[in-house]
Structure 1
């Protein structure tokens, strides 16, 4: 309930403000609240970090609201500006894949799942863990249950694959919650940055829904626990290779198919007549497949072949049906296809496409495309919805063994290096096209130039689509000791980090880039860039502010050792932006002034001199924001006027930044009490942004408009 005279309501509002800084709208709301608190308290108050701090700030605000009806209206207007996630609308999500056409047995597993689904609601979460070894069909059981019991879940299904590529890249609960909230039609700019706040939003949305959640390839209880809802209509199925210690859930074991059921499955796949004709080799096939549905599906085509697979070739080798069948299928490949199979497996690429596989394997792109399709047909690869492919982990393990045996370390390393170079060059050109005005450190940007994309959005779309592979390429470069390439690939992730908001997804690469820079480029501009880029990602989450500050300190030290004044200024400016989020407006102003002094030290002949006018204009804007937070409205107006003049001048015009400065000016007039001037500036900014998809910024303008109308009332 929005009640500016209720301490508990204001405490909840302050908590939501701190949790909502995932976008410009949230950050502007946070600054507006910080400025209000400073004016009411008569002094600067650091942004509250816990419940006790929020209660103290809330009591100050409520006391003033009770004394001044105008203050009560303004506070109420701010409180009404929070997005209401519960009103998200849209079609029911249906992200669980369709089950296989032929499905045999599993009656016991399905009975257990149906029992948990139909259990009378008693306050306990509905959770089951379906588990079994690779290739046994645990995921298929969940998919089949979802299809058969769809009537129970009119509000849809949510599916997430929890396996990662390299170590440490499995999606975190925070990343998975973001994906689920997007599927539930929460706008990206309204998703909170902190995991616990995302979990709270998720639980709120699921409170009255009847929905199935499937968490596939789970690694641990900790990974899935924040995703489990106690809502009576929600059933969560966790799929894992083993029971998950520490997770209270109904255990649903999935074991090998009995011979009878294995024969039934083969009969459905190849027909009963074909099965009868292959009776001489059938026992050996059943022995090798050992009740694994994956293995049976992979071997089924050979039973229908004109020349049946010799019995001697299908004898069980090591008791692992997936590896055994993968070896048999591998023997059937041509030498060229076998090489593609091996070279594609050398890194756990999230998605395999023809072009990078061709580069790694040293074949034409057409040959790579043909071979990938063949490998998928033979069940050695899984086909993804976007016409790309991926390995099953157990099959990839076999391919790696074959590569080590037949290619050797040197050739494998060279193939990985070629694939990494492909992805890094793609990222460099797309990043350049998405942010042409950004100064670059690595010379490859100038060497390659921007890629040929229709617009910035198309370049961002490419980076987003390939993000998993781009992150993996950075990790591979670091692992192989190619630290320069790791830094280059990390630098090329800035656009997708900044404009697509994929901060969490790029964090493993950003950390790798910072480590690589300290190995290869300590005390240089590159080290400064890597630490700064990592700090910006950490600044998106309030709980990471301390780590972000440490990264900025490391960046400042590197830039100072390099004698790079513009880099030092950027780091100090970034520290000022962090201070704004903490409501430390005086400290922020000091940082911006210090950054300005560093820019003043850059000579006209310096290579960075051409960037100075824009850098100074941005600093003027930030100074204006800090001064507004301090209640010093006259100098704030002066600083913002200088910034506005730059961003609307014909030869330096940037409409988006012009609108941002106009918004800053509107907030300054609102805080100063000149609501008429503020509304005029809001209209100016809105007119500029009308043709752009700047939803978060338009939301900010709408909030300011409501506040001004409340102030005029």
Structure 2
């Protein structure tokens, strides 16, 4: 048991509570602890946002506990069931480094420089290097090659992330990367902390005694990298970038173009001595045009003679020179797909949206994408999709502007955006069919029912799903592209596509936890909502949806502003149900912040709004259930304020609804848990035990494992300490 009279122990406890607030059980514990903290401190205390605030609060709590044995007992009761250490089983070793290229030439100097940094004597400084060089010079290939050579030195695994994205707005943030790596380290999703600082602290703690390689490919800024850097002696962080990153204290390792000797050796490896000998006359021209670029050499190797006769590109860029030569040899259909697929920096390319952009069938688009990859103009991804190298996409986009014209390019991009938005709406509808929707695209899919759709309506990806989980998986796979589509729609001023695309991200937020990923699209939805004319309720939905993502990302202050804006927008639209939801959600945010008095005020206001909804008003059928939920929330706020008897009355009212009026065992179990927590906080542990048993019986039939684990911990807190 942690000592309630130790500042360090209480600080650790508060940290573990905050770190677990990503899942429902973690949020429940955090809220309950907020009430205990208020009782011990003798006043309402805002939830600490960082390590310094946690330590300061711990000092206050320990001081109060030392002066009052009853307060010490109350604090110790909840500390006795502190959340389990989130460190995963070390038997789960991540191996996420992609395979290196088959043929690799030279690079002895950079390889030796990486060895020196990775294996130098520990001195407390992070082991970190930045491989950099011009486009196509092979920095990524060098990183993967070195990682493969040295994998045996890292028995605890490798972590790899490609930091490329579509636009700058969708580039992975350090917060998102930390979540990605923590999940790869087998931290349960519900134990990934919502705050970036807490994620970084957990990441560093997990790596402290490991021998592990971290590769961050295609980094754009130091801000993406710094939070992932650790001084752990067994960890080496290898960053790949176009140039040294300002603000990152790392060993720079320049990757130069290959010399002619090594360039020729690479060509021999790729096509054989006989082919290189046959191209003896044109070989000097090939080497000159490729200028030591491994990418250009690999592309030219498929047709040495053709590459040799390709016209030079402006500025003498070897990658652009070779790409231009390859492009000129494409047949017209492949060349057109090459151009139109590059109109936006899509994180990945699928046949469906490419077919929509080009106005062709998906089978043809699939074949043409494969042809482009065979020519080296696209890179195949492990999931079967494709992506452009930045320099290749720039060439293709320039060719599209030159050969197709602005109007045709805009029309093609709009078709691709419509494909992604319609796909997102269809999949979101399949994942959450019970949710009430605003965008008219949902009406179309309601009429389609369970049948698949095709073409611009979402292609094969948006067809029939086996279950809700399959729909979530499809949405997750396309999340980055959907966000990019929403941002593209904003750029060409289509508020309907922006708002309806953002609305379709709700299942990704609610069930996949992709809050960091969807934030740029949700912000675009808020910006576009004033120009949306389809339904006046859309503005409120956009503000609320953004607020919920911010709450899950620990952006509480901004979330509060968005919820206030949502309430105003719903009031302007005359939508009482939506306004009540916005105010209720603001109350839930205040609960998470331990601001119980404000939370109670919000819930009381939400209840009054629900009572005003007439028989003919929108959402009337939801009022009884919504009122019961608000009663439950009022009970939680009253409990946090130490008004236990009033809290029980509100919770009993909610329980009666869920047990007697509806068949909702899960919500009934949640209210029973609220009542048990209330009794325990009031010092009546014997009264809490039968409530815990009733909740566990209901949840056992629901297979709610996480909640059952929480009940088990709550039951332990109800038992007196053994002598």
TM-score (norm 2): 0.93
1:594-605 alignment, distance < 5 Å: 594-605=605-616
1:348 and 2:342 matched: no
In 2 relative to 1, CA 53–251 (structure 1 residues): closer, same or farther, beyond 3 Å? closer
For 1:124, what is the secondary structure of its paired residue? coil
Does structure 1 conserve the Cα–Cα contact (< 8 Å) formed by 2:306 and 2:325? no
In 2 relative to 1, CA 196–60 (structure 1 residues): closer, same or farther, beyond 3 Å? closer
1:666 and 2:676 matched: yes
1:683 Cα deviation from its structure 2 partner: 2.9
Which residue in the other structure is 2:710 paired with?
A: 700
Does structure 2 conserve the Cα–Cα contact (< 8 Å) formed by 1:116 and 1:128? yes
Which of these residues, 615, 618, 631, is aligned with residue 629 of structure 2? Answer: 618
In 2 relative to 1, CA 83–508 (structure 1 residues): closer, same or farther, beyond 3 Å? farther
For 1:709, what is the secondary structure of its paired residue? coil
Which of these residues, 707, 715, 719, is aligned with residue 709 of structure 1? Answer: 719
Larger deviation, residues 667-676 vs 63-72: 63-72
In 2 relative to 1, CA 279–700 (structure 1 residues): closer, same or farther, beyond 3 Å? same
Which residue in the other structure is 1:12 paired with?
A: 12
Which residue in the other structure is 1:141 paired with?
A: 142
String of CA shifts for 1:228-277, please: whole Å, max 9, x gaps: 11011111111111112222221111011111111100101101011101
1:70 Cα deviation from its structure 2 partner: 8.7
1:537 Cα deviation from its structure 2 partner: 1.2
String of CA shifts for 1:144-170, please: whole Å, max 9, x gaps: 111111121111111111122112211
Which of these residues, 559, 562, 587, is aligned with residue 548 of structure 1? Answer: 559
1:226 and 2:223 matched: no
1:44 Cα deviation from its structure 2 partner: 3.0
In 2 relative to 1, CA 313–688 (structure 1 residues): closer, same or farther, beyond 3 Å? same
For 2:129, what is the secondary structure of its paired residue? strand
Does structure 2 conserve the Cα–Cα contact (< 8 Å) formed by 1:318 and 1:324? no
Larger deviation, residues 22-31 vs 592-601: 22-31
Higher relative contact order (CA 8 A, sep 6+): 1
In 2 relative to 1, CA 133–692 (structure 1 residues): closer, same or farther, beyond 3 Å? farther
CA distance in 1, matches of 2:651, 2:411: 54
CA distance in 2, matches of 1:248, 1:181: 24
Which residue in the other structure is 1:29 paired with?
A: 29
Which residue in the other structure is 1:251 paired with?
A: 252
For 2:465, what is the secondary structure of its paired residue? coil
Which of these residues, 685, 697, 702, is aligned with residue 675 of structure 1? Answer: 685
Which residue in the other structure is 2:241 paired with?
A: 240
In 2 relative to 1, CA 631–70 (structure 1 residues): closer, same or farther, beyond 3 Å? closer
For 2:215, what is the secondary structure of its paired residue? strand
Does structure 1 conserve the Cα–Cα contact (< 8 Å) formed by 2:586 and 2:599? yes
Does structure 2 conserve the Cα–Cα contact (< 8 Å) formed by 1:48 and 1:57? no
TM-score (norm 1): 0.95
Gaps of 5+ in 1: none
Larger deviation, residues 226-235 vs 55-64: 55-64
1:52 Cα deviation from its structure 2 partner: 5.5
CA distance in 1, matches of 2:533, 2:59: 48
Which of these residues, 437, 461, 467, is aligned with residue 455 of structure 1? Answer: 467
Which of these residues, 469, 474, 487, is aligned with residue 499 of structure 2? Answer: 487
1:326 and 2:323 matched: yes
Does structure 1 conserve the Cα–Cα contact (< 8 Å) formed by 2:88 and 2:185? no
In 2 relative to 1, CA 66–541 (structure 1 residues): closer, same or farther, beyond 3 Å? farther
Which residue in the other structure is 2:649 paired with?
A: 638
For 2:512, what is the secondary structure of its paired residue? coil
In 2 relative to 1, CA 522–183 (structure 1 residues): closer, same or farther, beyond 3 Å? same
For 1:158, what is the secondary structure of its paired residue? strand
1:107 Cα deviation from its structure 2 partner: 0.6
For 1:363, what is the secondary structure of its paired residue? coil
Which residue in the other structure is 1:105 paired with?
A: 106
Q: Report the count of equivalent residues.
A: 707
1:521 Cα deviation from its structure 2 partner: 5.3
Does structure 2 conserve the Cα–Cα contact (< 8 Å) formed by 1:89 and 1:185? no
CA distance in 2, matches of 1:4, 1:346: 60
In 2 relative to 1, CA 531–178 (structure 1 residues): closer, same or farther, beyond 3 Å? same
Larger deviation, residues 588-597 vs 631-640: 631-640
In 2 relative to 1, CA 129–79 (structure 1 residues): closer, same or farther, beyond 3 Å? farther
CA distance in 1, matches of 2:40, 2:471: 46
Larger deviation, residues 503-512 vs 551-560: 551-560
Which residue in the other structure is 2:357 paired with?
A: 360
CA distance in 1, matches of 2:534, 2:351: 37
Larger deviation, residues 467-476 vs 438-447: 438-447
1:78-477 alignment, distance < 5 Å: 78=79, 80-303=81-304, 308-309=305-306, 311-313=308-310, 315=312, 318-449=315-446, 452-477=464-489
String of CA shifts for 1:43-73, please: whole Å, max 9, x gaps: 4333345635753454335633674379537
For 1:252, what is the secondary structure of its paired residue? strand
For 1:286, what is the secondary structure of its paired residue? helix
1:76 Cα deviation from its structure 2 partner: 5.2
Does structure 1 conserve the Cα–Cα contact (< 8 Å) formed by 2:430 and 2:465? yes
Which residue in the other structure is 2:517 paired with?
A: 505
CA distance in 2, matches of 1:692, 1:348: 44
In 2 relative to 1, CA 316–49 (structure 1 residues): closer, same or farther, beyond 3 Å? closer
Larger deviation, residues 277-286 vs 352-361: 277-286
1:512 Cα deviation from its structure 2 partner: 0.5
1:30 Cα deviation from its structure 2 partner: 1.4
Larger deviation, residues 442-451 vs 289-298: 442-451
String of CA shifts for 1:636-658, please: whole Å, max 9, x gaps: 223223323333457x4334323
Does structure 2 conserve the Cα–Cα contact (< 8 Å) formed by 1:326 and 1:380? yes
In 2 relative to 1, CA 526–712 (structure 1 residues): closer, same or farther, beyond 3 Å? farther
In 2 relative to 1, CA 52–235 (structure 1 residues): closer, same or farther, beyond 3 Å? closer
1:564 Cα deviation from its structure 2 partner: 1.0
1:564 and 2:567 matched: no
CA distance in 2, matches of 1:624, 1:69: 24
String of CA shifts for 1:99-134, please: whole Å, max 9, x gaps: 111000101000101111221111111111110011
In 2 relative to 1, CA 360–474 (structure 1 residues): closer, same or farther, beyond 3 Å? same
For 1:356, what is the secondary structure of its paired residue? helix
1:47 and 2:47 matched: yes
Cα RMSD, aligned residues only: 2.2
1:311 Cα deviation from its structure 2 partner: 4.3
Does structure 1 conserve the Cα–Cα contact (< 8 Å) formed by 2:96 and 2:158? yes
CA distance in 2, matches of 1:52, 1:158: 32
CA distance in 2, matches of 1:361, 1:370: 13
CA distance in 2, matches of 1:691, 1:418: 47
For 1:238, what is the secondary structure of its paired residue? strand
1:671 Cα deviation from its structure 2 partner: 2.0
Does structure 1 conserve the Cα–Cα contact (< 8 Å) formed by 2:33 and 2:78? no
Larger deviation, residues 400-409 vs 634-643: 634-643
In 2 relative to 1, CA 555–143 (structure 1 residues): closer, same or farther, beyond 3 Å? same
Does structure 1 conserve the Cα–Cα contact (< 8 Å) formed by 2:154 and 2:212? yes
CA distance in 1, matches of 2:444, 2:370: 35
In 2 relative to 1, CA 673–2 (structure 1 residues): closer, same or farther, beyond 3 Å? closer
